[in-house]
Structure 1
Amino acid sequence: MSNIQELFKTKSSKVLNIYCTAGYPNLDSTLKVMEALQNNGADMIELGIPYSDPLADGPVIQGSGGVALQNGMTIKILLEQLKTMRNAGGNHSAGITVPVVLMGYMNPVLQYGFEKFCAHASAAGVDGLILPDLPIREFETEYGPVIRQYGLDFIFLVTPETSEERIRKIDALSTGFIYAVSSSSTTGKDKNFSDVELYLQRLQQMELKNPVLVGFGIKDKVTFQSACKYANGAIIGSAYIKALNENPDVEATTKKFLETILK
């Protein structure tokens, strides 16, 4: 059983996954941010690999990615940084124990070398991958076997427009969880939550084998709790990055931000 599956086995509701951008606010912030998130109540960390042309990201996450790229962040540097994340002692006293998912786009991963990327991510202790622009067909025929070979979970996205047939196919192919995008827009946009609830109820009624986490537009205690009514938890990204924009003191900002969600 993977770390992600283990998490959902022990905690099936109100799972909080926080997105952060690797190399933001500073090149060497990655592990500090991850540790602050873990210490203040995040159940899972989604680590964004900055990319110059992100399809699904709104202005806040795009902005943080731009800063991270200017800081010099690359896949090579990130995987180097992550090599020690599971180690206790040293700079990060307890080590990262929560599941860690890398979120990125195919172009930089293919430039790095797909199998090499999976091998290095797995060796560093990464648990799963989200690659929104990897088509299902290519996943089935070419990339899925490589991902599985290195023991990584793969998380697909579904939207309110995704057909039931496709959702069931994604459920069969996914491991870890399904990422339910709250609406067909970019991250960070405000949502009409009554529409979102109808969509999440539809997913719930399908009795999928994978847990469901909701993302896009989850930004505070109210939207987190709404999302958790019909799903196993939620993913918060833009709101956290925004908080770091306003105060780059990682420890203080993370503590305060997570308290507003969880208290």
Structure 2
Amino acid sequence: MNRIDQLFQNKQKDILSIYFPAGYPKLEDTLPTLQLLQDKGVDLVEIGIPFSDPLADGPVIQTAAKQALDNGMTLQILFDQLKDARKSITMPLILMGYWNTVYKFGVDAFLAECQKVGIDGVILPDLPLEEYQEEYKAKFEAAGVHNVLLVTPQTTDKRLVTIEKAASGFLYMVSTASTTGGALQASKEREDYFKKIAALDIPSLIGFGIHDKVSFQHAASFSNGAIIGTAFIKALEKGNAAEFLESLQ
């Protein structure tokens, strides 16, 4: 069974997912960071594939991605770093990035590498759903790699039906129309949106604006859990990532 499916089968609430860019702060930090996250009880990790022109990322993630690129990080180097990861890392791993990087690498080669190193899913926000369904869905399914789809407050009910049918693994519920790194503001409109997505027949995690224990618990009350990115990257930068993760307990 795919580790993502296994996770949601075994744990329905308070799932903590952490995002960080590969090769940050230093090129060789990817595996040590994964080990730290597992040791501190994180349920799921999204490893960012650094890209020069991110669409949805706020300034903190953009800066971290640039530093990783300046460190020399590439998709091939990331796969090389992960080749022995499954000797010690048992939690689900997702690669999050932009379609151009995957397309340039080669979709078949990308999926083969994902299988080889034990990647359970991908998040590719700019891969058009129709293109994915027509050209790539069968390949992803054959490789056992979930393509996690995003929904936003602007997703129409009609579009949501299409997304729910195409989705696998879980839905990434974007909390706001803005970029990453802002604060999650409570409102009836936003909570109604959360409840609508949570009622679908697929697990969901809320991302964007989750930065501490309070905001995590608030988001997790409307979903299966939540995703923290910017706040963790800030902790990596300051050298207090372990303390930050402990503060979420």
TM-score, normalized by the shorter chain, greater than 0.5: yes
SS of 2:86's partner is coil
Match for 2:226 among 215, 221, 234? 234
SS of 1:230's partner is coil
Q: Which residue of structure 1 lines up, in the alignment, with residue 31 of structure 2?
A: 31
Residues of 2 paired with 1:226 and 1:164: CA distance? 24
The correspondence of residues 135-214 of structure 1 with structure 2, limited to 5 A, is: 135-194=128-187, 195-204=189-198, 207-214=199-206
Superposed displacement of residue 197, structure 1: 2.1
Match for 1:119 among 112, 115, 125? 112
The correspondence of residues 1-263 of structure 1 with structure 2, limited to 5 A, is: 1-87=1-87, 95-194=88-187, 195-204=189-198, 207-247=199-239, 253-262=240-249
Moved more, 228-237 or 145-154: 145-154
Contact 1:218 1:236 in 2 (8 A): yes
Residues of 1 paired with 2:233 and 2:208: CA distance? 13
What amino acid maps onto 1:244 in structure 2? L
SS of 1:179's partner is strand
Residues of 1 paired with 2:191 and 2:27: CA distance? 38
TM-score normalized by structure 2? 0.97
What amino acid maps onto 1:224 in structure 2? F
Superposed displacement of residue 260, structure 1: 1.1
Residues of 2 paired with 1:25 and 1:255: CA distance? 15
SS of 1:19's partner is strand
Residues of 1 paired with 2:24 and 2:59: CA distance? 15
Aligned residue pairs, count = 248
Per-residue CA deviations over 1:166-225 (Å, capped at 9, x if unaligned) read 122111111110000001111001231224322201222xx3221000000000011100
What amino acid maps onto 2:212 in structure 1? D
Residues of 2 paired with 1:117 and 1:163: CA distance? 32
Residues of 2 paired with 1:182 and 1:9: CA distance? 24
What amino acid maps onto 2:83 in structure 1? K
What amino acid maps onto 2:196 in structure 1? R
SS of 2:248's partner is helix
SS of 2:38's partner is helix
TM-score normalized by structure 1? 0.92
Residues of 2 paired with 1:45 and 1:133: CA distance? 20
Structure 1 stretches of 4+ with a deviation exceeding 6 A read none
CA RMSD for the aligned pairs?
1.0
